Copies of this chain bind each other. A is one copy, B any other.
């Protein structure tokens, strides 16, 4: 219950922050800004922002700094959804129960809105006044944060993962290949969602950063396994998109590779590993533990 309240509060907080960022932009092109707003503010679980906020809480970072981190992460996530949904990629008509951006607007606008949202992520980090005006290894905090976001979102992270995903479509790939794919496509940005707040705190040791990374990668994988399970076992109403769309799209999934029970066991096992990782941290990690549990136990 506490988790739900905290989750809802942080969802409101990040939505306010992002809405303000968009309002600050001049209206040069009303359609483009509207499409950016559609992609960024219509729905979304705000998992990455929430993870950033509760990590920030755990490591005693200034939450005003986490606003910028969470905002940048969500811009990257939102841009990736706009582009992944395009006809040339996953060709999805629905996202969160609503028409995808290229359906609500058009393809060109969805591509451009995605492009501009990626830029906005770096805009937010580069133009935020961080209360912790610190340097890490002689490097200003903003540069360190941008380095981390670049690694997580670009060729070496999310973009590379999406390319592997497209290349794997219609092929049989091994469990190991599927894990590499998801570790780049989803894991890298979740990892950034804990590492960037750790940087903002300024006193997280590299050993503890490693544990936070491990936790993030584990819940990233658990999220994906559970997503594959939900894609098979939910109703269209719960999903906001057709059931079994992964299989219809010839994507490799955990249930396909391990069976439904095997996938459920795997999700549970990943959860236990994530909780075990947290137990090695000297912080109050209750919210992080609750979040891991929520990810694996959610039904949609």
Contact = CB atoms under 8 A, between A and B. Distances in A.
Interface string A110-143: 0110111011101100110000000000001011
Contacts of A167: 29, 31
Contacts of A127: 147, 150
A25 B146 contact: no
Interface stretch (A53-61, A158-166, A206-214, A257-265): A158-166
A88 B107 contact: yes
Given A140-B140, A184-B28, A118 B116 contact: no
A33 interface: yes
A224 interface: no
Interface string A13-33: 000000000000110110111
Given A83-B111, A155-B25, A150 B122 contact: yes
Contacts of A143: 126, 140, 142-143
Contact-residue size bin, chain A (C-beta under 8 Å from the other chain): 35 or more
A184 B146 CA distance: 25
Contacts of A36: 155
A255 interface: no
A112 to B, nearest CB: 5
Interface in A151-200: 151, 153-156, 159-160, 162-164, 166-167, 180, 184
Contact of A155 (B89, B120, B126, B164): B120
Contacts of A162: 112
B89 A108 contact: yes
A290 interface: no
B122 A159 contact: no
A32 B119 contact: no
B164 A150 contact: no
A116 B32 contact: no
Contacts of A66: none
B123 A111 contact: no
Top 8 closest pairs, chain A to chain B, by CB: A119-B154, A88-B107, A32-B163, A29-B163, A116-B155, A116-B159, A123-B150, A126-B146
29 contacts: A28-B155, A28-B163, A28-B180, A29-B163, A29-B164, A29-B167, A32-B155, A32-B160, A79-B115, A83-B115, A108-B166, A114-B115, A115-B159, A116-B154, A118-B118, A118-B119, A119-B150, A120-B155, A122-B122, A123-B147, A123-B150, A123-B151, A123-B154, A126-B143, A126-B150, A127-B150, A140-B140, A140-B142, A146-B146
